[in-house]
């Protein structure tokens, strides 16, 4: 599958079949995430993979009581917790070391989504969660920020939904705004 | 090329041959970027493509006087200026509308880098630039933030360099920090 096809197949997957993700596969996906670019190649990230029995109780940190948000996550066999770690930028940049860390997390997260889809897996990026609860559950240090959580599993539906996107003309221009 | 191969081939490319990028190709790359995921599918981005003669003078906004930073950009035939626009998140999230915009920019930027590489082009993400100068040069509104700039062109070297990355064991753990 070339990237144009992969790009169309990747979607935010919120329905999974009951099937574990082998550690060999989830680890390979993280290996590919490490090859993502980052500002000054600082790689300000650490990935904590939550799978097996530990994943069963993890959902309580991302479902919001009395809301529909993330209720579908009960079926997810594996979660990737993307943490922001201290970046070391070139001194000559003379800026806050974490200035680019969120861009870098996005670069790694996209890599995970494409890598997983290419291997037949689905992903969904989650930005709302009980950060303190997860830190305690996974022994993540107090001073580490959790950037994003990415679900990983085998999709229930093979064919992607139609994509709802802004019109190209509204978000692309040439040589002038 | 599958994604595992593409992931290894993508690198930050800082040497290009003298060859323009057809608008058909650069536009297709942006089309694929639009399919990137974003928080609440809010797509808080606009892409301004700077190519042709307009690209020649663009480099002055990214080269830093008296420094080696980005001096190689004279050869670049096309620049993609990734702008952050106002995001519309679900009201129930009850947070700053731009909270996820930098992650989203990273997701789009990674999509551009992989899409371009799959088509035989190279990219490099640039985070240091004269934002005010670029806004004036491309008539970008005052209240719009420029997130990142991505160079686009045909690589001088086909084979990627060896990747320098942190050890997997230092940045991946299972079910515990």
pLDDT in tens, A120-158: 999 999 999 999 999 999 999 999 999 999 999 999 998
pLDDT band at A92; cut points 50, 70, 90:
confident
Would the ipTM clear 0.90, i.e. be above it? yes
Main-chain dihedrals φ then ψ at residue A161, nearest 5 degrees: -70, 165
A118 vs chain B: nearest CA distance in angstroms? Answer: 6
Q: What integer is the mean pLDDT of B141-148?
A: 97
Measured between alpha carbons, how far is residue A47 from residues A21, A44, A128, B7, B175 in Å? Answer: 16, 10, 17, 18, 10
Q: Do B138 and A177 touch (CB under 8 A)?
A: yes
List the single residue in B104, B175, B177 with the smallest CB-CB distance to A141: B177
Which residues does chain A have within 8 Å of residue B1's beta carbon, measured at their own beta carbons?
2-3
Which residues does chain A have within 8 Å of residue B173's beta carbon, measured at their own beta carbons?
46-49
Tokens 């670049």 belong to B76
Residue A65 has pLDDT above 80, yes or no: no
Q: Which of B120, B123, B174 to mutate to test the interface with A (most CBs of A within 10 A)?
A: B174
H helices then E strands: how many in chain B?
6, 5
Nearest CA to B73 among B87, B85, B60, B91?
Answer: B60
Which residues does chain B have within 8 Å of residue A148's beta carbon, measured at their own beta carbons?
103
Which residues does chain B have within 8 Å of residue A128's beta carbon, measured at their own beta carbons?
93
Q: Which residue has the higher pLDDT, A5 or A63?
A: A5
pLDDT band at B145; cut points 50, 70, 90:
very high
List the single residue in A3, A50, A99 with the smallest CB-CB distance to B115: A3
Q: Do B118 and A4 touch (CB under 8 A)?
A: yes
B84 vs chain A: nearest CA distance in angstroms? Answer: 11
List the single residue in B6, B54, B103 with the smallest CB-CB distance to A3: B6
List the single residue in B47, B54, B168 with the smallest CB-CB distance to A172: B47
Pairwise CA distance, residues A150 & A163, whole Å: 20
Q: What is the pLDDT of residue A102?
A: 98
């Amino acid at each position: 599958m070339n990237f144009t096809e992969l790009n169309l197949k990747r979607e935010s997957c919120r329905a999974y079949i009951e099937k574990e993700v082998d550690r060999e596969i989830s680890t390979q996906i993280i290996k590919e995430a490490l090859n993502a670019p980052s500002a000054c190649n600082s790689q300000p990230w650490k990935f904590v993979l939550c799978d097996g029995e530990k994943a069963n109780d993890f959902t309580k940190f991302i479902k919001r009581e009395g809301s529909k948000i993330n209720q579908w996550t009960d079926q997810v066999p594996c979660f990737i917790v993307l943490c922001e770690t201290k970046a070391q930028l070139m001194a000559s940049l003379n800026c806050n070391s974490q200035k680019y860390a969120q861009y870098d997390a996005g670069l790694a997260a996209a890599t995970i989504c494409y890598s997983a889809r290419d291997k037949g897996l689905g992903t969904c990026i989650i930005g709302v969660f009980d950060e303190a609860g997860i830190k305690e559950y996974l022994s993540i240090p107090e001073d580490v920020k959790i950037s994003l959580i990415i679900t990983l599993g085998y999709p229930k539906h093979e064919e992607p939904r139609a994509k709802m996107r802004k019109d190209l003309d509204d978000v692309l221009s040439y040589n002038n705004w």
